Amino acid sequence: MSSAIGRPLPHDSARRHVSGAASYVDDIPEPAGTLHMALGLSPKAAGRITRLDVSAVRAAPGVVSVLTAGDVPGANECSPSIGGDPVLAGAAVSFHGQAVFAVIAETRLAARKAARLGVIDIEAAAPLVTVDAAMAAGETVLPDYAFRRGDAAAIVKAGGPVVAGELRIGGQEHFYLEGQAALAVPGEDGDVFIHSSTQYPNEVQHIVAHVLGVSQHQVTVHCRRMGGGFGGKESQASQWAALAALGAHATGRPCKLRLDRDDDFTLTGKRHDFLVRYATAHDASGVIAGHDVTFNARCGYSADLSQGVIDRTMFHADNAYYLPDVTIATRRLKTNTVSNTAFRGFGGPQGMLAIERVMDHIAQTGGVDPLDVRKANFYAAGRDVTPYGQTVSDCVTLLPLVEQLERDCDYRARRDALAEFNCSSPILRKGIALTPVKFGISFTLMHLNQAGALVHVYADGSVMLNHSGTEMGQGLNRKVAQVVAEVFGLDVEAVAITASATDKVPNGGPTAASAGSDLNGMAARNAAKTIRDRMAAVVAGMFGVSAEDVTFAGGSAWAKGRSVPFRELAKRCWLERVSLSATGFYKTPDIHWDREAAHGRPFFYFAYGAACSEVVVDTMTGEMKVTRVDILHDCGKSLNPAIDIGQIEGGFVQGMGWLTTEELVFDGEGRLRTHAPATYKIPVASDVPEHFSVTLYEGGPLPDTIYQSKAVGEPPVMLALSVFSAIGDAIASLRPGMPVALDAPATPEAIMRAVSGMRI
Amino acid sequence: MRQTVRYLRRGSVVSLEGIDPNLTLLDHLRIDCRATGTKEGCNEGDCGACTVVLARRRGDDLVYMPVNACILLAGQVDGAEVITVDDLADGGALHPVQQAMVDHHASQCGFCTPGIVMSLFALYQDGARPVERQAIVDQLAGNLCRCTGYRPIIDAAKAACAGRPADRFCAGREARLAALAEISDSEDVFLGTEARFFAAPASLESLIALYAAHPDARLVAGATDVGLWLTKKLDDIPKLIWLGRVAGLDAIVHGDGGLVIGATVTLDQAAPALGALDPDLGEVMRRFGSTQVRSSGTVGGNIANGSPIGDLAPCLIALDSTMTLRSLAGERRMPLADFFIGYGRQNRAAGEVLTAVTVPALVEGQHFRAFKVSKRFDEDISAVMGAFRIAVADGRITGARVAFGGMAATPKRAAATERCLLGARIDDPATWEGAIDMLGSDYQPLDDMRASAAYRLATARALLEKALFEIGAAPSTLTRIIGHREARP
């Protein structure tokens, strides 16, 4: 049997997925008497509630109970950070569609119908909806914060070449296919057991305890799998679990709350949208001398995770480029819209899009190839310290990786060919772009960089694995099972994967920041090694060898040419009263961050990749098609190349959607008008080009991680910046020398605005 | 009169009595049958997670139609075999489509997967080989996946459909056809009371009589729109008359002058016939909704619901189509252009049923072009939909029918533009540029989440300009990104 590590094994649940046997929260057989919940939503984006009349709701068929803010026994608060997120709005409302009351009924349809009968009178205030409105009003959820090195403003004013501009970056709805859902089952003495579709069972547990006013040990949260998360179930899952728990608490019966898709869009936070302003000085060859950028972020009505998100925008405002004198300023703006939250990349994509715009801007005005501008600005020896003081010691990966892709995808010849095409094509224009990704791995909130695991070996040699990570499709459970199988020398199928459970592994962090396998793989390995060492001692006794001589491989333990099958050894250990259960723990070493000083080493290492995209644009309608994509990405020594390639392809397409078809439209009243897939368009199969090549890069420096693999969850999203730059490249052909003012997402209408700008 | 709905599942006949007329197939499966493999993703027929396959007899054939169970009424499965993702595996052996999905790492979170498996199962059974990549992505247009980026799913589809279909559904074909014959009859179906019912009359006469007795009833054909009134608006629709069993409404008659399309002909059935009139009409149909929507939705329903953004209406108006309406008072015909009175209002009397749409063929000298502009090419509602029939003789425009969707409260012709086009030289843009400017007086479009008014008007102009360029001989490879006319056989 070959090693479990590095094999392209299928997702642990693949067979269950395709046969409909994989169970999600709404599929779990409901305990007898289960009730269903639905929410009454605020009809206004801002104001004071003057009257809440739920008498018609109570009287509706099938209704058992109605909950309002006054019915919360503990704290009416589900914030993951500094507070400000009521479970049910009490005196005031802060965004259109905010939950004001909850209906509990015999059926879900009865609850949904009754929820629309509530009367919520609001003395409305004028809502702040847009970034611009919040900037004008000066309203923020968190203080302004900046990184500064040198004097960028002075260099920009010094009289050399400067590019300056503005970029609007849209938000993004997660659109996990499984909407938010929780089922709460009441237990004894106020205990509650919750099935939650969450990336962060530990936080759901803590918040539910806080809301119910009970101890954390009274609340148990399980999550076997999510139908997608993407950051949207990191902080955003807690409220629905808390409401289901409140329902169970109030009625003494199991309660399920599964949001309808439109409510899910309305009630849950999204990727932050931004207005970015930059002024960048560069030399004649396009090398940046000073970069002064301000990120104005729409955070929504509360802080939620915005501190970490916008900080990560700052950490990635350099992407792969050395910025000698630099100011990266941020404003965390408060609006009467849903509170924006974590989304794969966690603010990084927006920071990186802005610096890639600067690269394109320099190239377009300078009449040079954007790839040459990019390469000239890469981090390199002697130019390798980030604006926040971390030395990018692994930046040696950048140039060879990019140059390998440049060769493999035939960038230069294609560049020439499409220039020729554009000369003879008045309506359709083609563009190409090759952009790099450098993404910092670790939570910048230091205490989240920990994980726990629990491993049991049973007397028949079967293994049960539990860890603090959650499975949302990314294949984490398969990877961690491969690690445990490797430690025991077993086939991966011998390791059973179980639901993430707060009663098995407590105090875990969220499955986020791409760190799931790095953290949980190590924790599980530590747990498994503890058991393996105990088993090795038994083998040593059996064969009269030293424990150090015992190895585990091929389903047996071996020492000096003798072996014992693992299952027999397990039985032997049990008979000899040796514990076959162990916990494991891991915390990321060598990282530190002083936010006040804006200095430190927040990232354990960086992930790298690059993508080259080609597009064709219709300059009469703004329609656009991606015609070819080539990706080269560094996963270190991949734990599972099939799963890693899946993350790369999926991340790329999700990023492409964010930058092209996915547009969130709020009206002047703060109502989200794109609240379902009929109006919010994520990529479909035909949006992905037939030529979509993904290769794993080999040869870069390897980090001291689990079997030297590198994180892959988020970085590929930013590979899609190449699509956005390629669209700009196509438009740039209309008027060489003029910069393209394209905003994201590049919908047909946004493309036509940029096209019109070239014709003035 | 039959008072049950009967369908086949897993080889057994299921009889439904006393179901609520508003019950959806998805709720029936997930709640009543506890068949939870089929997922609810959006509850509006857009994501495809709830895709199941209906197998029906059509003549001697057995056709497999993927449908969105979330917006299909449970009663609409009468006479069909319902196949869900839970039903495919044969004991411990996965179906070839399922196995290919596993082999190609085509699932990640797995929530869209059941629907994708079912869409590909329908493609697998379809039998046409080889299966081109375009056919696969067309089949998947109504299945959203947020994890994989689709590449492995497309590869799985290619692998699964590499050979002829050979699974236990093929092996049991004759038995299943026989079982379907057993549950087919020509009885009127009526479940419920005079105040609240699901009815499926079997003849036009029964339909007209029932509708005359209940003019307040809601007629449904595919329910791809009415389904959302139930799941999203949470309407209660006490009286539902489903047209799907009415004999004779599901035929396409090819005449000398064009097509007569019965009101319950599905969009999927109509697509080849419409595509034969003009390749652009074929492209409109290819991009229309999704495979699931085209399998359920009908030509008649798309027109009769009077949506201002329906893609078919502008095309059929430009082609000078007429519609046939029937009631106890008799039959009348009217030009389709006169049917749309205002937003959500149509020229249809109480008790009147749309029975057919007549689409004239193009004659010598007539050119047709249609363009759909939307944020996403597939499965999207158009921001602007333009359809044009331009007659040219001796290089001059002698006739023009210009119709747009998305530009007004109803699909609407551009009267002033049409007048100004007459007499222009097709090869001389200077002679028709003025006509294009008239679009600004024909339409005052609105801002909404799909596009701004300014973009809509500018795009309408661009589309008419493109049509005239193309009719004046510009190859469509120079004027459009997809749907090239030259590429088609």
Task: Write the CATH number for B85.
Answer: 1.10.150.120
B211 in any annotated domain: no
| A603 and A740 together in one domain | yes
A494 in any annotated domain: yes
B353 in any annotated domain: yes
**Cα nearest neighbour of B225 on chain A:** A678
Q: Which two tokens stand for residue B26?
A: 């998805």
Query: Cα–Cα distance between A667 and A674 in angstroms, integer?
Result: 10
Q: Is 50 exceeded by the pLDDT of residue A209?
A: yes
Chain B contacts of A173, Cβ < 8 Å?
A: none
B2 in any annotated domain: no
Q: Do A178 and B383 touch (CB under 8 A)?
A: no
A15 in any annotated domain: no
| A373 and A406 together in one domain | yes
A158 in any annotated domain: no
B212 in any annotated domain: no
B397 in any annotated domain: yes
Query: Cα–Cα distance between A376 and A355 in angstroms, integer?
Result: 14
What is the DSSP pairing of strand A691-696 with strand A624-633?
A: parallel
pLDDT, one tens digit per residue, over B68-86 is 999 999 999 999 999 999 9
Q: What is the pLDDT of residue B488?
A: 46
DSSP string computed for B43-80: SSSSS-TTEEEEEEEETTEEEEEEEEGGGSBGGGGTTS
Helix axes A411-423, A398-408, angle to 10 degrees: 50
| A397 and A512 together in one domain | no
Q: Is 50 exceeded by the pLDDT of residue A450?
A: yes
B13 in any annotated domain: no
B305 band by pLDDT with thresholds 50, 70 and 90: confident
What is the DSSP pairing of strand A219-223 with strand A192-196?
A: parallel
Chain B contacts of A15, Cβ < 8 Å?
A: 94, 98, 102
A754 is in which domain, residue-wise? Answer: 273-444+595-758
What is the DSSP pairing of strand A119-124 with strand A463-467?
A: unpaired
Please tell me the number of Cα atoms within 13 Å of A359 on its side-chain side: 33
* DSSP helix/strand/coil, A685: helix
Query: Cα–Cα distance between A236 and A270 in angstroms, integer?
Result: 10
- CA-CA distances (angstroms) from residue A125 to A95, B194, B354? 11, 49, 49
A2 band by pLDDT with thresholds 50, 70 and 90: low
Domain count, chain B: 2
Query: Cα–Cα distance between A368 and A380 in angstroms, integer?
Result: 21
Tokens 């004779």 belong to: B248
> How many CB atoms sit inside 10 A of residue A15's CB?
19
A151 in any annotated domain: no
pLDDT, one tens digit per residue, over B214-258 is 999 999 999 999 999 999 999 999 999 999 999 999 999 998 789
Query: Cα–Cα distance between A25 and A197 in angstroms, integer?
Result: 7
| A665 and A735 together in one domain | yes
Q: Which two tokens stand for residue A440?
A: 């910092």
B310 band by pLDDT with thresholds 50, 70 and 90: confident
Radius of gyration of chain B (CA): 23
Q: Do A13 and B478 touch (CB under 8 A)?
A: no
Task: Look at residues B411, B261, B274, B421 and name the one whose alpha carbon lies nearest to residue B337.
Answer: B411
Chain A contacts of B149, Cβ < 8 Å?
A: 646, 649-654, 683, 688, 692
> Residue B224 carries which side chain, given as an amino acid letter?
T
N- to C-terminal Cα separation, chain A: 67
Please tell me the number of Cα atoms within 13 Å of A82 on its side-chain side: 11
A218, A235, A267 — which closes off a domain? A267
Q: Check if the beta carbon of residue A716 is closer than 8 Å to that of residue A655.
A: yes
| A670 and A744 together in one domain | yes
Interface check A230 vs B, CB under 8 A: yes
Q: For an interface test with B, give the residue of A493, A672, A684 to mutate (most B CBs within 10 A).
A: A684
The mean predicted confidence, pLDDT, of chain B is: 96
Q: Is 60 exceeded by the pLDDT of residue A172?
A: yes
CB-defined contacts A:B, below 8 A: 257
Interface check A472 vs B, CB under 8 A: yes
User: Quick one: CA dihedral B138, B144, B150, B156, positive or negative?
Assistant: negative
| B142 and B262 together in one domain | no
Q: Is 90 exceeded by the pLDDT of residue A250?
A: yes
Closest chain A C-alpha to B257 CA, distance in angstroms: 34
Say which of B30, B98, B150 has its CB closest to residue A685.
B150
Q: Check if the beta carbon of residue A226 is closer than 8 Å to that of residue A233.
A: yes
Q: Which two tokens stand for residue B76?
A: 């609409």
**Cα nearest neighbour of B42 on chain A:** A261
| A643 and A750 together in one domain | yes
**pLDDT (average), residues A744-755:** 98
Domain count, chain A: 3
* DSSP helix/strand/coil, A753: helix
Query: Cα–Cα distance between A525 and A19 in angstroms, integer?
Result: 31
B489 band by pLDDT with thresholds 50, 70 and 90: very low
A232, A252, A267 — which closes off a domain? A267
pLDDT, one tens digit per residue, over A571-597 is 999 999 999 999 999 999 999 999 999
Q: Do B376 and A684 touch (CB under 8 A)?
A: yes
Say which of B46, B133, B478 has its CB closest to residue A678.
B46
Q: Check if the beta carbon of residue B412 is closer than 8 Å to that of residue B443.
A: yes
A219 in any annotated domain: yes
CATH number of the domain at B346, please: 3.30.390.50
A236, A267, A298 — which closes off a domain? A267
pTM of the model: 0.98
**pLDDT (average), residues A309-314:** 98
B229 in any annotated domain: no
B144, B167, B182 — which closes off a domain? B182
Q: What are phi and psi of A753, to 5 degrees?
A: -65, -45
| B168 and B262 together in one domain | no
The mean predicted confidence, pLDDT, of chain A is: 97
| B165 and B311 together in one domain | no
Q: Cβ neighbours of residue A652 under 8 Å, at least 6 residues apart? A: A611, A629, A631, A716, A717, A719, A720, B149
Closest chain B C-alpha to A598 CA, distance in angstroms: 35
- Determine whether A714 is an active site residue: yes
B290 is in which domain, residue-wise? Answer: 252-479
CATH number of the domain at A564, please: 3.30.365.10
| B162 and B258 together in one domain | no
| B39 and B166 together in one domain | yes
Task: Look at residues A611, A662, A622 and name the one whose alpha carbon lies nearest to residue A429.
Answer: A622
Q: What is the pLDDT of residue A724?
A: 99
Q: Is 70 exceeded by the pLDDT of residue B487?
A: no
Distance of CA A197 to the CA centre of its chain: 15
**Cα nearest neighbour of A621 on chain B:** B459
Q: Which residues of B343-366 are buried (b: 16+ CB within 10 A; e: fewer)?
A: eeebebeebbbbbbbbbbeeeeeb
Q: How many residues does chain B have?
A: 489
| A258 and A297 together in one domain | no
**Cα nearest neighbour of A177 on chain B:** B41
| A558 and A607 together in one domain | no
| B300 and B426 together in one domain | yes
Weakest-pLDDT range from A221-235, A621-635, B270-284, B303-317: B303-317
Q: Is 80 exceeded by the pLDDT of residue A75?
A: yes
Tell me the H-state helices in A34-183: 55-59, 108-115, 131-137, 152-156
pLDDT, one tens digit per residue, over A269-298 is 999 999 999 999 999 999 999 999 999 999
Closest chain B C-alpha to A674 CA, distance in angstroms: 7
B189 in any annotated domain: no
Q: Check if the beta carbon of residue A202 is closer than 8 Å to that of residue A507.
A: yes
CA angle A209, A238, A143 (to 5 degrees): 100
Query: Cα–Cα distance between A741 and A730 in angstroms, integer?
Result: 12
Interface check A175 vs B, CB under 8 A: yes
| B258 and B363 together in one domain | yes
Q: Cβ neighbours of residue B256 under 8 Å, at least 6 residues apart? A: none
Q: Which two tokens stand for residue A143?
A: 């203080």
pLDDT, one tens digit per residue, over B83-125 is 999 999 998 899 999 999 999 999 999 999 999 999 999 999 9
Q: What is the pLDDT of residue B256?
A: 77
The CB-based long-range contact list for A366-373 (8 Å cut-off, 24+ gap) reads: A366/A161, A366/A286, A367/A736, A367/A737, A368/A286, A369/A415, A370/A433, A370/A725, A370/A729, A371/A402, A371/A406, A371/A411, A371/A433, A371/A434, A372/A286, A373/A286
A20 in any annotated domain: no
Q: Is 80 exceeded by the pLDDT of residue A161?
A: yes
Q: Do B478 and A425 touch (CB under 8 A)?
A: yes
CA angle B335, B340, B344 (to 5 degrees): 155
| A407 and A438 together in one domain | yes
Q: Which two tokens stand for residue B321?
A: 């189509």
Active-site residue, from A173, A420, A714, A749: A714
Q: Do B478 and A663 touch (CB under 8 A)?
A: no
Q: Do B107 and A11 touch (CB under 8 A)?
A: yes
Q: Cβ neighbours of residue B125 under 8 Å, at least 6 residues apart? A: B53, B64, B165, B169, B170
Q: Which residues of B6-36 are buried (b: 16+ CB within 10 A; e: fewer)?
A: bbbbeeeebebeebbbbbbbbbbbbbeeebb
**pLDDT (average), residues A148-152:** 98
Q: Which two tokens stand for residue B194?
A: 């005079």
DSSP string computed for B427-488: T-HHHHHHHHHTHHHH------SS--HHHHHHHHHHHHHHHHHHHTT--HHHH-SS--STT-
A160 in any annotated domain: no
A331 in any annotated domain: yes
A1 band by pLDDT with thresholds 50, 70 and 90: very low
Q: Do B37 and A29 touch (CB under 8 A)?
A: no
* DSSP helix/strand/coil, B371: strand
Q: What are phi and psi of A34, to 5 degrees?
A: -65, 135
Q: Which two tokens stand for residue A43?
A: 């009809």
A 645-674 near B (Cβ less than 8 A) = 645-646, 649-654, 661, 663, 665, 673-674
pLDDT, one tens digit per residue, over A652-675 is 999 999 999 999 999 999 999 999
B162, B182, B202 — which closes off a domain? B182
B123, B155, B182 — which closes off a domain? B182
Q: Do B141 and A685 touch (CB under 8 A)?
A: yes
Q: Do A228 and B153 touch (CB under 8 A)?
A: no
Q: Do B377 and A686 touch (CB under 8 A)?
A: yes
pLDDT, one tens digit per residue, over A551-569 is 999 999 999 999 999 999 9
Interface check A23 vs B, CB under 8 A: yes
| A387 and A486 together in one domain | no
Say which of B42, B102, B371 has its CB closest to residue A10.
B102
Query: Cα–Cα distance between B350 and B196 in angstroms, integer?
Result: 19
pLDDT, one tens digit per residue, over A494-532 is 999 999 999 999 999 999 999 999 999 999 999 999 999
Q: Do B234 and A112 touch (CB under 8 A)?
A: yes
- CA-CA distances (angstroms) from residue B266 to A12, A319, A508, B308? 40, 51, 53, 20
| A438 and A535 together in one domain | no
| A683 and A537 together in one domain | no
Query: Cα–Cα distance between A588 and A448 in angstroms, integer?
Result: 9
> What percentage of chain A has pLDDT greater than the value 70?
100
Chain B contacts of A22, Cβ < 8 Å?
A: 110, 113
- CA-CA distances (angstroms) from residue A344 to A232, A294, B235, B257, B449? 9, 22, 37, 56, 25
